[in-house]
Amino acid sequence: MKKLAFIMLLLCFCVNAKDKKVDYTKAESWKSLEKYLVNEDGRKIKGLDLSKKDYVMIYFSASWCPPCRKFTPSLVEYYNKYAEKDKFELIFYTSDRSEKASEKYMQDYKMPWPTVKFSKMKYVDLKKYGGNGIPCLVLIDKEGKVLAHSYEGKKYRGPSVALKKMDELMGR
């Protein structure tokens, strides 16, 4: 009887824990994301504080995607030029099928931004920001409001929409 009670208690805990999704539309929830972010070598990033950023961009992409590989170099250039001065962070959310492929993609394209650790993606509910395809870039403000998206409904507008919106916000 004790074993059955323990199993039921454990099952209830697991179901409740699984149902607890973080709502990234609340700015304070970005802090909880930091523990799942790593660099291109899979190492935890020290000193990252998303609460000090005015904007967060989420980049949905994959190494096997030709349009992603075409767009990524211009995104790297944009990030290197503006991220620090504009107080934004970009987070890579891979659609690759393995950690090795994702890390190689980041290394090959010299992506300087953090990524959600492949093995921890199931704990991070960022897919709801994505669209029906990749590459997809989403610009979100400090309050968690989506300001620009690669998709307008089901219509694909491309990742440059978010960069144009950022330029507009920065007066460029």
Give the integer Cα–Cα distance in Å for 161 and 6.
52
User: What confidence tens digit (pLDDT) does each residue in 24-67 have?
Assistant: 445 456 677 888 898 887 888 877 888 889 999 999 999 999 99
* Residue-level pLDDT at 21: 46
Whole-number pLDDT of residue 27: 47
What pLDDT does residue 29 have? 61
Asked if the model's pLDDT at residue 85 lies above 80, the reply is: yes
Query: In the numeric block, which tokens belong to residue 64?
Result: 């096997």
Q: pLDDT-based confidence at 144, cuts 50/70/90? A: confident
Residue closest to 53 by CA, chosen among 135, 140, 142: 142
Distance of CA 4 to the CA centre of its chain: 40
Percent of residues, the chain, with pLDDT higher than 70: 82
Domain layout of the chain by residue ranges: 22-169
Beta bridge partners of 59: 92, 137
What does the alpha-carbon distance between residue 15 and residue 73 come to, in Å, rounded to a whole number?
42
User: Domain 22-169 belongs to what topology?
Assistant: Glutaredoxin (3.40.30)
- Average pLDDT of span 109-128: 89
pLDDT bin (cut points 50, 70, 90) of residue 73 is very high
Alpha helix (H) ranges present in the chain?
2-19, 30-33, 66-86, 99-108, 160-169
Is the distance from CB of 107 to CB of 92 less than 8 angstroms? no
Report the DSSP pairing between strands 55-61 and 88-94: parallel
Q: Which amino acid, residue 76?
A: V
Q: Is the dihedral of CA 19, 94, 57, 32 positive or negative?
A: positive
pLDDT at residue 127 in the model: 81
